[in-house]
Amino acid sequence: MIRPVPHVAEMAPYALADLGGDLVSMAQNESAFPPSPRALAAARDEMAQAPLYPDPDWSELRQAIAERHMLDPNMILCGAGSMELIGCLIRAYAGPGRAVLGSAYSYAFAATASLQAQAHYRQVPEPDLAVSVDAALDNVTPDLAVVFLCNPGNPTGTMVSNADILRLRADLPGDVLLVVDQAYGEFCDAAQDPSEIFALALRGDTVVLRTFSKAYALAGARVGWGCFPPAIAGELRKLLNPNNIASASQRMAAAAMRDQVHMRAVVARTGSIREAFSERCRAMGIDVLPSHTNFVLLRFDSADRAARVDQALRRSGLLMRGMAGYGLPNCLRATICDAPVMERAATVLKEALT
Ligand SMILES: *Cc1c(COP(=O)(O)O)cnc(C)c1O
C-alpha cells in the first residue's frame, strides 16, 4: 500500500464553494463585472508566446504595481493567486513547533496552509464579527511565529482601522511575522490610505498581500502579489514554483493595474449595488454587517432559517455560500453580482421570509 505522510493523511480536502451545476454563483466573491478590455487585449497578444516559459521575475507586472502604489519593485513578489504566497509564507516561517494565529472567522486557507506545514493554527475570537487587535495581542505565546489577518475580513466584510493595524504591529514581538491580507483592499482604498499599511513592510517584519482576483476581475488568471521586506522576499523565492504565473496572466494583470479608471468603476458599481441590496435586506429584518468588500454577510435569526433560505435560493437557481464551516451556521455570504441577479435574490429572500 502506498501511504502518505501522516499529517497529510489526517487532513480533510480544502472546502471550496460548492459549484452547484447550473446555479448562478454568488459563492466565490468573483467580480460581477468583466476586467479591463486592455487586459483582455494583452492576453490575446501574448498567446503567440505560448511556446516560451513566462518571465520568472514578473518584471513588467512588478513595474506596473510599483508605479501605481509607489512601492520599490524589489519589494514586490507575485504568486499564482495570493493563496500561493500565503502557503509559502506559512511554510517558510511556521512549521512543527511554531504557531500561526488567525482570527475566528478569517480566511480558511491560512488554517489549511498551517496544517500542510505542520504548524499549530490558533484562532482569536472576533466578538463583534470584526478583527480584534486586543484579542490577538492577548493570544501571543512563546511559540507564535505568524499572525495572519485579513482586512477587510472574509467572510465578515468588516474593516478595522489602519491605526489598529499599526498598533497591533507595534505591540507584537519583533520575531513574529505579521501578514496583512488585503484581498479586498481596493474596495476601501478611498476610505483608508493604503500606503500606511504598505509602509509596514519597511520595518522588516510585516508582509502585505493583495490580489487581482477581486476588484480587478481576474480570478481565473490566478495572480496575487504582495509587498515584502527584502530578506523575507529572498526566503520566499526559494519556495515559490519557478515560472509560477502564466505569461498571459502576467500581461493581463499588468494591463489591469494600469487601467485604474476601469477598476475604480467596477468598485463603485459593485459598492452601489451592495449598499442597495443591504438596505433591502435590512428592511426585511435580516441583519447585514457593514461591508467594505464585494460581498455581504447576511445574518438570520437561526441556523434553521438560514438553511431554509439557502434551499429557496437554490430552487430559484441562485447559490450563496453557507457559513456553517466558519462557525456561523445562521449566516449566508452573498457575493455582489449584477443588478438583475441581486434583484432575483432579494425577491427570493422576501418570499422565503414571509
Ligand atoms: C479571494 C481571497 C484571496 C485571494 O485569493 P487568490 O488566490 O489571490 O485568488 C485571499 N484572501 C482572501 C481573504 C480572499 O477572500
**What pLDDT, in 10s, does the model give residues 335-351?**
999 999 999 999 999 99
Cα(7) to centroid(ligand 1), Å: 25
Confidence band of 3 (pLDDT split at 50, 70, 90)? very high
Cα(140) to centroid(ligand 1), Å: 25
User: What pLDDT is attached to residue 20?
Assistant: 67
SS3 287: strand
Shortest-distance Cα residue to atom 1 of ligand 1:
183
- Best residue among 85, 210, 211 to mutate for probing ligand 1's pocket (most ligand atoms within 8 Å of CB) is 211
Say if residue 159's pLDDT is above 70: yes
User: What pLDDT is attached to residue 15?
Assistant: 80
Say if residue 156's pLDDT is above 80: yes
Q: Grid coordinates in use for 276?
A: 442597495
What angle, 0 to 180 degrees and rounded to 10, lies between the N-to-C axes of helices 247-258 and 260-283? 80
Say if residue 128's pLDDT is above 90: no
Q: Grid coordinates in use for 6?
A: 501522516
Say if residue 300's pLDDT is above 70: yes
Mean predicted confidence (pLDDT) in 109-128: 94
Cα(44) to centroid(ligand 1), Å: 25
Confidence band of 23 (pLDDT split at 50, 70, 90)? very high
User: In 3D, which of 333, 193, 210 has the Cα closest to residue 277?
Assistant: 333
CB-defined site of ligand 1, < 6 Å: 29, 81-83, 107, 150, 154, 181, 183, 211, 213-214, 219, 224
User: What pLDDT is attached to residue 30?
Assistant: 97
SS3 76: strand
Cα(3) to centroid(ligand 1), Å: 31
User: What pLDDT is attached to residue 351?
Assistant: 96
Cα(40) to centroid(ligand 1), Å: 21
Confidence band of 19 (pLDDT split at 50, 70, 90)? low
Mean pLDDT across the chain, nearest whole number?
96
Shortest-distance Cα residue to atom 3 of ligand 1:
183
pLDDT in tens, 56-112: 999 999 999 999 999 999 999 999 999 999 999 999 999 999 999 999 988 889 999
User: In 3D, which of 110, 154, 79 has the Cα closest to residue 14?
Assistant: 110
Mean predicted confidence (pLDDT) in 258-280: 98
User: What pLDDT is attached to residue 16?
Assistant: 75
pLDDT exceeding 70 applies to what percent of the chain?
A: 99
User: What pLDDT is attached to residue 220?
Assistant: 98
State which ligand 1 atom lies nearest to the alpha carbon of 293.
15
Contact 314, 23 (CB under 8 A): yes
Cα(184) to centroid(ligand 1), Å: 8
Confidence band of 127 (pLDDT split at 50, 70, 90)? confident
User: What pLDDT is attached to residue 37?
Assistant: 98
Q: Grid coordinates in use for 97?
A: 513547533
User: What pLDDT is attached to residue 325?
Assistant: 87
CA distance 107 to 102: 8
Mean predicted confidence (pLDDT) in 171-199: 97
Instruction: Outline where the chain has alpha helix (H).
Output: 6-9, 37-46, 59-69, 82-93, 109-116, 133-138, 162-171, 194-198, 230-239, 247-258, 260-283, 303-315, 339-353
Q: What is the number of other CB atoms lying within 10 angstroms of the CB of residue 23?
A: 17
State which ligand 1 atom lies nearest to the alpha carbon of 214.
1
User: What pLDDT is attached to residue 14?
Assistant: 87
